[in-house]
Amino acid sequence: MKKRNYLKGLRVLLAILFFVPILLLFVDFSGVLPNSVHRLLHLQLMPALLGGMVGLIVFHFLLALVFGRIYCSTICPAGVFQDIINRLFCIGKKKKKGSRRFTYHKPMNRLRYVLLAITAVMAVFGFSGLCLLLDPYSNFGRIAASLFRPVVMWGNNILADQLMKVDNYSLFQVTISTVTVSGLIAATIALLVFIVMTVFRGRLFCNTVCPVGALLSLFSRYSFFHITFDKEACTHCGNCEHTCKAEAIDSKKLTVDTSRCVDCFNCVSSCAKGGLQYRLQFPGKKQEVAPVNNPPAQESQSGQPDTKGRRTFLATSATVAASLPIVSAIAEGGKGKMKRKGRKKWPPVTPPGSISLERFKDKCTGCQICVVRCPSQVLRPTGLEYGLDYMLKPRLAYISSYCNYECTVCSDVCPTGAIKPLTVEEKTTTQVGIATFFKGRCVVNTEEKDCGACAEHCPTQAVHMVPYKGTLTIPQVNPDLCIGCGGCESICPVRPMRAIIVKSNVEHKFVEKPKEEEIKEVEVDDFGF
């Protein structure tokens, strides 16, 4: 009879407490979930590294040094998501005697640490492309934002239609406008990578590709608490090895690779005799290794050293190293190509609080949390229209909406600090761009009709109407008051090229808040005068 595994139960409980609120934060389209839940996002390691949150970084390193990689099984949503995939894959499968779900594999240390080094160096020099592609949290965010959220919204719309037929209006139709083609493709690829790697090799992504897992492994290999074998109780059945998702247990040698172990405690639960225990063991004390008769792994059957792995590693490293300047050249070449065509491409309008375009590119990982939490849905993830260095990062797109004047949600929820937290006062004076008026497109000039929609929707009175012809008035922009909120552009009726467009500020500026008109008290007599 198996002993009750309280450690696994505690791990599952912690994983639920972290995973469910984060998932709901991404799929909640009605704004029911309080924004305070976003504090869970600030516990993610990669955003903390890019944001320079020293205290949180030290906390995670100490956590890994004491307890091992418990972060990967509880706090990281991508890690928990892989556990869910693994669980779903096992449903309906009969456990046959001799079946092998997982088996021990040698760690690919060279590959994962080379990827870690390249990612760190590129991030230091201002290119966060690999952080965007490899960060587990950001990949999960894109999956939730571009795949899970639309499914929930479609389900809501179908249910709302059915309820309307019986005069029940508790639900309402919602528009799915924040999903782009590039975001959908990136999310689909990330989901397929997670599924394929998890089904065939368990936590292969975490122990080979993920820079967060590689970084934590440097500390977890010396952790004080880790799983060890009790050789007197062990029956050499191999159940622990076959249930290890990290493929870190060698049941023949009775060893556990603590650098890859994610502390899921499945091995402890699978052992009926208590052959594995999670206990305190100081790093200096090494486990005794049981003798094996197998030939050394470094040698082939012919007795010659196996150099295939080294050649593969060198070839992979050379390919990655050679591709980096090519990627950079493509990004620069794309920009130059647009210039050669003679078509001017304005820089993207970045969210208030991003400070500058270059800073935003360096810190943003494209997790899409600001996109899904934006109440006006003005933020949209980009594709390749602004180059590879800005791919999948949000921009203000004034297609059908604008940035609310006093809204600071995006700066509140951003976990990396790419969007600096702003007060309402700072938000209302931050100039992300300046509205530019094109007289030749305006209906007042082309059709000689009254409009003034742009001036009516300007919260700072930067766009105002001035005399034009006869009784007609035409818009005029005061750049000293404009904050680039896009209220004028979103409401402009001219199509396809609008008569007023917000051009971005590469470096954000500050403007003076418009003075409120003084309200004079008027005395009213008995006759209403």
Q: What does the alpha-carbon distance between residue 402 and residue 400 come to, in Å, rounded to a whole number? A: 7
- Residue 234 is given by DSSP the state -
pLDDT range class, residue 236, cuts 50, 70, 90:
confident
- In this predicted structure, what is the pLDDT of residue 516? 61
> 3-state class of 506 per DSSP?
strand
Q: What is the mean pLDDT of residues 325-354?
A: 58
- SS (HEC) of 455-505: HHCCCCCCEEEEECCCCCEEEEECCCCCCCCCHHHHHCCCCCCCCEEEEEE
State which H helix or E strand residue 433 sits in.
strand 430-437
From first CA to last CA, the distance across the chain in angstroms is: 93
Q: What is the mean pLDDT of residues 37-66?
A: 92
Q: What is the mean pLDDT of residues 44-64?
A: 93
Least confident of 5-19, 59-73, 94-108: 94-108
CA 235 to chain centre: 44
- In this predicted structure, what is the pLDDT of residue 520? 56
- What is the CATH number that goes with domain 357-510? 3.30.70.20
Identify whether the C-beta of residue 226 lies closer than 8 Å to the C-beta of residue 278: yes
- In this predicted structure, what is the pLDDT of residue 281? 81
Q: What is the mean pLDDT of residues 106-134?
A: 89
- Residue 356 is given by DSSP the state B
pLDDT top residue among 51 and 74: 74
Identify whether the C-beta of residue 290 lies closer than 8 Å to the C-beta of residue 253: yes
Let me know the angle formed at the C-alpha of 68 by 63 and 71, rounded to the nearest 5 degrees: 65
321 pLDDT exceeds 50?
no
Backbone phi, psi, residue 126, to 5°: 90, 15
513 pLDDT exceeds 90?
no
Percent of the chain at pLDDT exceeding 70: 82
Number of residues assigned to the chain: 529
pLDDT top residue among 139 and 101: 139
pLDDT range class, residue 515, cuts 50, 70, 90:
low
- In this predicted structure, what is the pLDDT of residue 329? 39
- What residue spans define the domains of the chain? 6-280, 357-510
Q: Which amino acid is at 216?
A: L
Let me know the angle formed at the C-alpha of 191 by 16 and 127, rounded to the nearest 5 degrees: 100
The candidate with the shortest Cα–Cα distance to 503, out of 266, 342, 289, 345, is 345
- In this predicted structure, what is the pLDDT of residue 428? 93
- In this predicted structure, what is the pLDDT of residue 510? 92
Across the chain, what does the average pLDDT equal? 84
- Residue 299 is given by DSSP the state B
